Amino acid sequence: MNITITGTGYVGLVAGVCFAEVGHHVICCDIDENRIKLLSQGVSPIYEADLDDLLKKNLENGRISFTTSCEAAYRETEAIFIGVGTPEQPDGSANLSYIATVARQIAETIEKDCLVVVKSTVPVGTNDKVEQFINDFLPDKHNGCDGGKKLKVEVASNPEFLAQGTAVHDTLHASRIIIGTNSKWAEEMLMKIYKPFNLPIVSVSRRSAEMTKYASNDFLALKISYMNDIANLCELVGADIQDVAKGMSFDERIGSRFLNAGIGYGGSCFPKDTKALEHLADEHGYKLRTVKAAIDVNSDQKTILFKKACKRLITFSGLKVAVLGLTFKPGTDDLREAASLVNIPLLLEQGAEIYAYDPVGIDNFKKVYAEGGHGRGSIKYVTNTDEALEKANVCFIFTEWKTVIETQPEMYKKLMKTPLVYDGRNIYSVIEMKDAGVEYYSIGRI
C-alpha cells in the first residue's frame, strides 16, 4: 500500500521505516528541511538500534522516501499516519497544535478517499475532533457543497507502544497492535496495513484505543514508583529491595519487569502521559489518586541521591564530580526528563567541577549545558569512564550504560581521590563495592 507518515521523530520515523521493511511504499513528511535532507541521505537524526541499517536498506530499494512537501505526501496516498509531537503544556495537558496543523494540511491537500491514522499520544476524544476538523476544512469540491462527490475521510487511532532504545524491535515484534476505529472500512484498512507484520491485532473503538495507550503507560509508571517507594522504606527497615523484587518476580500476577528500583522514570512517555491522564481526569471532575502518587514519588526520587550526598558532604564547591550517564536510559540519546537534567543544575549551583561521560548523549546535553563555566560550577565532557573518575571526589551514576556496568569496583578505588559513589541504578553489589574499598550508596539497599 501507499502510506504517508507525517512527522519524523521517534514515532513517525520508526513507523515509516518498519512499514517499508514489511513491503509498503512509504513517504515521510516533515517541515524540518535539514532533517529531511539527512534522512534522504540515509542518516538518521536520532540514535536508535537497527534504525540506520533499515533506513539505508529501504532507501536503496525505493520503498521509503522523504519530503517537506505536503502536496507530494498527501495527494495520492491511501493512508496517512500522524506521528507529530504532543508536548506537555504547563498545566500537564497535551499540546495538540501540531496535530491540528497537520489535520488542516491533509484536508486542503488530499485528492482521494483517505484513512487518517493518529499514532501520536492524544487525550481521549481527540480522534473525534481530528475527523471533524478535517471534514470542516475540506474544499467545496471535496465536501459535496458544490454538488461534487464528497471524499471519504475517516480517522483511526493506532497508538504506539515502543520503548526508546528498542523501538524498531518493539514495532516489528510487538506484543499486540491496538487499532481504534468507528467503521468497518477503517478497520479493514488497518488490518490490511498490518497484515504483513503477522502480529496479534486488538480492534476496539477509537476512544478505547486512546485510553489504552494512557492506561498502559501509566500502569508501568505506577509500578516503577511503587518499587521506588518500597525501596526507600527498605533502607529504613534494613531490607534489600533487590531481594524483595526477586521474591515478587516469581508471582505471575506481578511479573518480573519494571521491578528495578532507581532514581525514577524519564523519557518522552511516562512523565508526559501520567500528567496528561491526571489532567484529563481533573477536567472530568475525577481524581486519579494512584497516578498522582506515581507522579509525586517520581519527582522526589530523582534527587534522592543528591540529598544523600548533601548529608555526607559539607559542600560540592571545588570538588571534582564524575557523572556517569546523561540520557534517561541506555540505548538512546534522548534526555527528556532525565535525572541528569535535575541533578546537574543542583551540583553546578554548589560549585561542582563536573566531568560528564555518556556514550551517545553528550552532543544533546551540550545544547543544554555548553562545556565550561556555569555560575559557581563548571562542566567538562569526557570520552570514557576512566577520565571522568580520575582524581574525582565523588561519583554519581545516572544511566546504566554497558560501559559503566563494565567498570569494575576496584577502578573506583584506584582512580578516584575519594572513592565515594552514589549509584542511581543499583549496578553494583553492595558487598563487592565495600570489599573494593568504595564508600557506596544506592537505592533501597544498605
pLDDT in tens, 139-168: 866 766 655 678 899 999 999 998 888 999
- Residue 158 identity: N
Contact 268, 276 (CB under 8 A): no
pLDDT at 164: 85
pLDDT in tens, 229-281: 999 999 999 999 999 999 999 999 999 999 999 999 998 889 999 999 999 99
Burial of 414 (0-12, 13-18, 19+ CB in 10 A): middle
**Rounded mean pLDDT, 408-437:** 98
Q: Residue 78: is its pLDDT beyond 60?
A: yes
> CA 423 to CA 401: how far, in whole Å?
12
Mean pLDDT of the 353-357 span: 98
pLDDT for 147: 57
pLDDT digits (tens, 9 = 90+) for 377-398: 999 999 999 999 999 999 999 9
Most distant CA pair in the chain, distance: 84
Could you say which DSSP state residue 197 is in? Answer: G
Give the global pTM: 0.91
- The one catalytic residue in 70, 114, 269, 395 is 269
Cell of 98: 501540531
| Ranges of H-type helices in 138-183 | 140-143, 167-172
Q: What is the average pLDDT across 55-83? A: 95
pLDDT attached to residue 165: 87
The 10s digit of each residue's pLDDT in 122-132 is 999 999 999 99
145 catalytic per annotation:
no
**Structure confidence by residue, pLDDT tens digits, 307-347:** 999 999 999 999 999 999 999 999 999 999 999 999 999 99
The pairing of strands 64-67 and 177-180 is unpaired
The β-bridge partners of 82 are 6, 118
With a cut of 80, say whether residue 428 has pLDDT above it.
Answer: yes
